[in-house]
């Protein structure tokens, strides 16, 4: 089975969006618990491989890119899932532009993890 263009992330439209949830139009998620190779890679470099760890690294990457995406994303990460809500397709596209090159392959993720200091993360 071929990997999707957004691997390891899946993009879904929220099924029911209440008026007060307009910032939850789309869902970006990754089944972290099913990505054993990724978990082991995080562990190899002294990081947790769970959803909150992914969120922390993604926030870091976006901050390093001086991105304003933080104003358009709402994280809901826990345990074996990385999940973030986005308020528009444009936000999803910009998220993928910054994050996909890092997380798309084990090789690119390994390069990133080898360059960041575990002491800068919880």
pLDDT digits 0-9 by tens, 60-92:
999 999 888 988 899 987 778 999 999 899 999
Confidence of residue 36 (pLDDT cuts 50, 70, 90): very high
Closest Cα partner for 52 from 36, 76, 69? 76
Nearest to 86 by CA among 6, 26, 29: 26
Q: Is the pLDDT of residue 28 over 80?
A: yes
As a whole-number percent, the residues of the chain with pLDDT over 70 amount to 89
Largest CA distance in the chain: 43
Q: What is the DSSP letter of 84?
A: E
Is residue 20 very low, low, confident or very high in pLDDT (cuts 50, 70, 90)? Answer: very low
Determine the distance from the C-alpha atom of residue 32 to the mean position of all C-alpha atoms in its chain, rounded to a whole number: 10
Evaluate if residue 1 carries a pLDDT over 50.
Answer: no
């Amino acid at each position: 089975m071929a990997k999707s263009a957004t691997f390891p992330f899946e993009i879904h439209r929220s099924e029911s969006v209440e008026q007060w949830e307009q910032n939850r139009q789309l869902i970006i998620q990754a089944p972290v618990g099913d990505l054993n190779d990724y978990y082991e890679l995080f562990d190899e470099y002294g990081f947790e491989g769970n959803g909150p760890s992914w969120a922390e690294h993604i926030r870091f990457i976006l901050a390093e890119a001086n991105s304003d995406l933080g104003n358009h994303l709402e994280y809901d990460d826990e345990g074996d899932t990385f999940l973030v809500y986005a308020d528009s397709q444009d936000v999803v596209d910009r998220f993928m532009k910054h994050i996909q090159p890092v997380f798309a392959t084990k090789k690119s993720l390994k390069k990133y993890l080898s360059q960041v200091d575990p002491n800068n993360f919880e």
